[in-house]
Chain A
Amino acid sequence: GESVGLHLPTLSVQEGDNSIINCAYSNSASDYFIWYKQESGKGPQFIIDIRSNMDKRQGQRVTVLLNKTVKHLSLQIAATQPGDSAVYFCAERSGGTSYGKLTFGQGTILTVHP
């Protein structure tokens, strides 16, 4: 079914701390997952992605972990900065084709205090 965010959860951290944002996805057949960052007044921006045949992928200051057993995805941000303050969404691709529909999970509001 669709994952539509309501009453977004929040996470507040101090600058320099590590942040972990969690997402539960809905479709066990999804084969691709993406994390997006959305700043106020802007559209979502790509952060990092992971395929379902992987359980971890690292980028610059970010790491995505995938646990298919419990259908859970997490985004870890190292040394969080005030510029990281935004709403973070996970998205899953399903459909079994090269494209497929992107369905978004519930977002999380991250606030980084200086």
Chain B
Amino acid sequence: GAGVSQSPSNKVTEKGKDVELRCDPISGHTALYWYRQSLGQGLEFLIYFQGNSAPDKSGLPSDRFSAERTGGSVSTLTIQRTQQEDSAVYLCASSSGVRGYFGAGTRLSVL
């Protein structure tokens, strides 16, 4: 596809379960970002991948959160032992320069 694709679009899980969120960036984009957006709030930076450089993980809120990017393309954000406060929309963006192109996000609900 032409844009950033995220899956699933919605995820409902029980407290304590692990979840994986997927991001397919635009082909050829070397930069990939994950953000979290709680209802009615702004975008909270989580992690940033740039080419083969070590990722900037400074925004990950706890060690329950991790992300990887395989082959410089697809990225997976994993949240272990989910908590209710993890409920939010998780947005992924990719970039070939400066401008970031966003996916529609994954809405995570932790019951």
A and B from one complex: yes
Listed stretches B13-21, B27-35, B67-75, B78-86; interface member: B27-35
User: In the complex, which range does the number of interface residues on chain A fall in?
Assistant: 20 to 34
* Interface contact B101-A102, CB-CB below 8 Å: no
Which listed residue (A4, A32, A97) contacts B42, Cβ 8 A? A4
CB of A89 within 8 A of CB of B43, answer yes
| In the complex, B25 has a CB within 8 A of chain A | no
Q: Is the CB of A34 within 8 A of B99?
A: yes
Flag if B42 contacts A105 (CB, 8 Å). Answer: yes
Q: Does B7 contact A (CB under 8 A)?
A: no
Q: Which residues of B contact A4 (CB under 8 A)?
A: 41-44
- B65 at interface (Cβ–Cβ under 8 A)? no
Output the nearest chain B residue to A109 by Cβ-Cβ distance.
B40
CB 8 Å contact bits of B53-69 with A (1 = contact, 0 = none): 00010010000000000
Given contacts A34-B99, A43-B102, A49-B99, contact A101 B40 (CB under 8 A): no
Chain A 1-32 near chain B by CB (<8 Å), digits 1 or 0:
01111111000000000000000000000001
> B104 to A43, Cβ gap below 8 A?
yes
Interface size on B, as a range, is: 20 to 34
Determine how close the nearest CB of chain B comes to the CB of A16; give it in whole angstroms: 27
The answer to whether B98 touches A32, judged by C-beta atoms less than 8 angstroms apart, is: yes
Are the C-beta atoms of B98 and A93 separated by less than 8 Å? Answer: yes
* A99-B45 in contact (CB<8A): no
Contact residues of A between 96 and 114, Cβ < 8 Å to B: 97-107
Once A2-B59, A34-B99, A43-B91 are accepted as A-B contacts, the answer to whether A99 and B42 lie under 8 Å apart by CB is no
Assembled-state Cα–Cα distance A59/B102 (Å): 21
Q: Is B50 an interface residue (CB 8 A)?
A: yes
User: Which listed residue (A41, A44, A98, A105) contacts B97, Cβ 8 A?
Assistant: A98
User: Which residues of chain A have a CB within 8 Å of any CB of chain B?
Assistant: 2-8, 32, 34, 36, 41-46, 49, 89, 91, 93, 97-107
